[in-house]
Amino acid sequence: MKAPHRRGACPGLSAPMPTGDGLLVRLMPTEPVPLDAFVGFCEAARRHGNGTIEISARGSLQVRGLTPHSAPLFTAAVAELGIVVHEGVSIIAGLDPLGARSSCGRATATPSPLVGEGWGGGSGDCGDNVPPLVTPTPDPSPQGGGEEEFTAKRMDTQVKPAYSDLIKSKNTLVSTADIAADLRRAIANAGLVLSPKVTVVVYGDGALHLDALSADIRLRAVGPAQRPRFCVGLDGDGTSATWLGSIAPKDAVGAVFGLLTIIAGYGPTARAAEVLRTKGVEAFRSVLAAFIGPPWAPSRRMPAEMVGLHPARDGTIAVGIGLAFGYAHADALAEIVRIAAIQGAQAVQPAPDRALLLIGVAAPNAVHLKAAAERLGFVVNADDPRRRIAACPGAPACASGLIAARALASALTPILESILKPRSNGVAVHISGCHKGCAHPKPTALTLVGTPHGCGIVRAGTAHATPDRYVDPANLGAEISRIAANTSEAAHG
């Protein structure tokens, strides 16, 4: 195991990050986790850590309270349980929409493809006049940094060997999980050096989409199942991305790999946003010119809601539950998974927006499982006010925390409810232990931030903003009540 990561890096299994309550590790399973393995994961988190398990806004699992002695034991336990995780560049695949088989002959991992997370029902085909795949590569100059030149010779000799066995004629029904797996192999085989914060998302055009996740590169599937296309975007989320055009599924790995080589050419900490800002979109077009359709932006759609009951095409239900403020104790998670097993669930999948999907539940049992989750304190309704409050661990769990953010979030929820209900969906209140604002980087209607001067109050801003005023945390309830009363009066006045 490597030395603990510095702050700002990604705390993977091999490099835990020190924080206030010990070492923290983050892992994203590359496929749904069998129920018994997930129970074992919870038991390992309790045995080797402090029992706190978090699900991040991007759907990663985080385990807290490890020690230099116990962290390697926890890593070994995860491997023994057969939970497949990937470290390095984050490649996030949406729930596999069709349960198709790729040309590699692998069955997809998702046991219950969800209705609505398919290719159909989207914004139409992006066009078909796309030449066969060309896989260019930058000249790997030792200096790096400048805009790269591409030649067919370098393409054939340097990049194709890294993933030529992966780019084959795909079936028309494509697995996003397979594309993500192929891309991980391509990056590993080529030895591509990228910032661990670089993110790629690959997902379908249905209800449980990944539009809300920001990414360096995004592939969004559109069009009918018989002729799907991927729209390629850079930086931002599904709304703010710079869309380059569309490609055929068989070209997905080559296209993303080419874009990643451009980013890598600007150094080991480079991100797509930096390249776009300094060199413009033309820096990326050369690697896609041979097989991408004309620029086209997919239509906007309603935000995805992971919490709730999601029908699957095989007649089962995926029960989506939320972790209040992003965390739960290992014992509670193990208990709900054991109950899910009794109700017929087949697997567990962490999901974006701090949620957990219990997959494969028989339809008559889904309501019973939902009720059990509610009794254990999980969020089971999309309109639960806790879904609209973002809170980091705060003090004492985080070494940077100056207020007990999660404890305050729990205590203030009844008061904040009057602020939350009249507003639209999304996070409306952010309670941050310090000015870094890790739990929610975007502005919210109300931000409470820990400072050396007390709890800062920011209206319509982020944790980085200068607070309007400061309040002793002990008096915060009264201050929030006053704000809630003024908000209510304004809404009715």
Task: Judge if 328 and 417 occupy the same domain.
Answer: no
Task: Classify residue 295: in a domain, yes or no.
Answer: no
Task: Judge if 248 and 317 occupy the same domain.
Answer: no
Q: Which pLDDT band, with edges at 50, 70 and 90, does 447 fall under?
A: very high
Query: In terms of residue numbers, what domain contains 315?
Result: 17-87+306-382
Identify the H or E element spanning 483. helix 476-492
If one counts the domains in the chain, the total is 3
Positive or negative CA dihedral for 121, 124, 126, 131? positive
> According to the per-residue pLDDT averaged within each range, which of 136-140, 240-244, 291-295 is highest?
240-244
DSSP-derived 3-state class of residue 84: coil
pLDDT of residue 137: 33
List all residues 6 or more positions away from 482 whose beta carbon is below 8 Å from its beta carbon: none
What is the CATH classification number for the domain harbouring 315? 3.90.480.10
Task: Judge if 312 and 207 occupy the same domain.
Answer: no
Neighbours of 1 (CB within 10 A): 11
Task: Judge if 444 and 341 occupy the same domain.
Answer: no
Could you tell me how many helices (H) and strands (E) the chain has, helices first? 12, 20
Task: Classify residue 147: in a domain, yes or no.
Answer: yes
CA-to-CA distance for 384 and 275, rounded, in angstroms?
40
Task: Quote the strand ranges of 124-276, DSSP E.
Answer: 199-203, 217-222, 229-234, 242-247
Task: Judge if 115 and 240 occupy the same domain.
Answer: yes
Q: Which pLDDT band, with edges at 50, 70 and 90, does 208 fall under?
A: confident
pLDDT higher than 50, residue 246: yes
Positive or negative CA dihedral for 368, 371, 377, 380? positive
Neighbours of 382 (CB within 10 A): 13
Task: Classify residue 7: in a domain, yes or no.
Answer: no
368-377 burial: b if 16+ Cβ within 10 Å, else e: ebbebbeebe
Task: Judge if 463 and 342 occupy the same domain.
Answer: no
Q: Which pLDDT band, with edges at 50, 70 and 90, does 174 fall under?
A: low
CA-to-CA distance for 367 and 361, rounded, in angstroms?
10
Task: Judge if 75 and 146 occupy the same domain.
Answer: no
Task: Classify residue 338: in a domain, yes or no.
Answer: yes
Instruction: State pLDDT tens for residues 314-353.
Output: 889 999 999 999 999 999 999 999 999 999 999 999 999 9
Task: Judge if 55 and 98 occupy the same domain.
Answer: no
167-171, 190-194, 245-249, 261-265: segment of lowest average pLDDT: 167-171
Q: 171 near 100, Cβ under 8 Å?
A: yes
Task: Quote the strand ranges of 204-286, DSSP E.
Answer: 217-222, 229-234, 242-247
pLDDT of residue 424: 54
Task: Classify residue 292: in a domain, yes or no.
Answer: no
Q: 65 near 52, Cβ under 8 Å?
A: yes
420 vs 257, more confident = 257
What is the CATH classification number for the domain harbouring 426? 3.30.413.10
- Quote the Cα angle for 137-134-90, to 5°: 60
Task: Classify residue 78: in a domain, yes or no.
Answer: yes
Task: Judge if 98 and 58 occupy the same domain.
Answer: no
Task: Judge if 195 and 117 occupy the same domain.
Answer: yes
Positive or negative CA dihedral for 28, 30, 31, 35? negative
312-321 burial: b if 16+ Cβ within 10 Å, else e: beeebbbbbb
The last residue of a domain, from among 338, 355, 382: 382
Taking the model in full, what pTM does it have? 0.81
The last residue of a domain, from among 382, 408, 423: 382
Instruction: State pLDDT tens for residues 55-89.
Output: 999 999 999 999 999 999 999 999 999 999 988 88
Question: Phi/psi at 162 (nearest 5 deg)?
Answer: -70, -30
Task: Classify residue 416: in a domain, yes or no.
Answer: yes
Task: Judge if 95 and 83 occupy the same domain.
Answer: no
CA-to-CA distance for 40 and 28, rounded, in angstroms?
16
What is the CATH classification number for the domain harbouring 187? 3.30.413
The last residue of a domain, from among 382, 409, 425: 382
Q: Which pLDDT band, with edges at 50, 70 and 90, does 292 fall under?
A: confident
Task: Judge if 112 and 258 occupy the same domain.
Answer: yes
Query: What residues pair up with 454 in beta bridges, in sequence order?
Result: 451
Task: Classify residue 446: in a domain, yes or no.
Answer: yes
Mean pLDDT of 450-457: 94
Mean pLDDT of 153-178: 42
